[in-house]
Structure 1
Amino acid sequence: MPAPDDPAPVPRRVRVTSPRTSAAQRSTSHTGTREIDEQTRVGEVYMHSLIQSQLRLTLAVIGGAVVVLGGLPLLFFLVPATRTLAVVGVPLPWLLLGVLVYPVVYVAARIYVRQAERIETEFTEFVGRQ
C-alpha cells in the first residue's frame, strides 16, 4: 500500500488511431469548382466559357426584340396604308405600339430566363463532373 505522501503514478501515454488508417485515401483530384475557386487557368477558361454563353444569349434575345419592335416603325414607313388603318376604331399604330410591345417584351424575358437557367444548370453539372 502506497504512503499518502507519495504522488500518484503518471499514466503512460497511449496513441489512439483509427482502424481505417490502412484504408485507401480518397483522391484529392481537382474538381471544376476547385479550379474556379483557386483561379487557375482552367478555372478562367470555365468562367470565360460561361460568360460567353450568357453574352450570346443576351445578344440573341435583345436582337430578336429589336428586330420585332424596331420593325414596326419600318412597317409604318414602308407601307403607308398601315398609318391610317383602324381596328375597332383604334388606329393600328397605336394598337401595335400600345398593346403588342408588352407581350413581345414578356416573351423575350421568359425566353431569356429559361435559357439562362439552362446554361447555368449545364455549367454547374459540367463543372461538378470535372
Structure 2
Amino acid sequence: MTDHPPRRERVVLAQRRGARMMRTRMEVQEQTEVGDALVRGLMRAQLGLALRLAVAVVVVIVAIPLTGTLFPALTTVSFLGIRLNWLVLVFALYPLLYVAGRIYVHFAEQAERDFLRVVDDET
C-alpha cells in the first residue's frame, strides 16, 4: 500500500448567509475594528452630505447681499411697500433653508438604510 496524503478539504467559516449577517451585526454591536470602520463610513457619508449642503446654502446666502452691493438700484426697489431684500429673505431664503434641511434628512436616512443593508445583507 502506498501512503497517500489525506485529501485536502476546504473549510469555509460562516458559509451560511445567516451566520455572516450575525457576524457583521455583532461586529458593529461589539465595536470591533470592522464594525467601527462601518460606523465611521456612515458618519463620514453624513458629514460629507452636511458639508456639501452647507456650502450650497452659504453660497446662496452670500449671493444675496453681494447682489445688493453690485447692483445698488435693487436695494431701493419696493413691491407693495416692502423692500425687495425683505421679499427675497421671506420668499427665497427661508424656503431654501427648509428644502436644504429636507434634502439632508432624505439623504441621511438613505445612507442609514444603505448601512443597514450592508450590515443585514452582507453576502
Superposed pair shares fold, TM > 0.5: yes
Question: What TM-score results when the alignment is normalised by the length of structure 1?
Answer: 0.73
- Higher helix content, 1 or 2: 2
Deviations 1:49-97 (A, max 9, x none): 0010010011111111111122101111111111111223321112112
Aligned length: 105
Deviations 1:15-54 (A, max 9, x none): xxxxxxxxxxx77445322111122111111011001001
RMSD value over aligned CA atoms?
Answer: 1.7
Greater RCO structure (CA 8 Å; 6+ sep):
2
Matches of 1:117 and 1:28, distance apart in 2: 26
Percent identical residues: 38
Runs of 4+ in 1 over 6 A off after TM superposition: none
| Other-structure match for 2:115 | 123
The alpha carbon displacement at 1:119 in A equals: 0.6
Deviations 1:100-130 (A, max 9, x none): 2221111111101111111100110011122
| Other-structure match for 2:24 | 32
Say yes or no: does 1:75 pair with 2:71.
no
Question: What TM-score results when the alignment is normalised by the length of structure 2?
Answer: 0.76
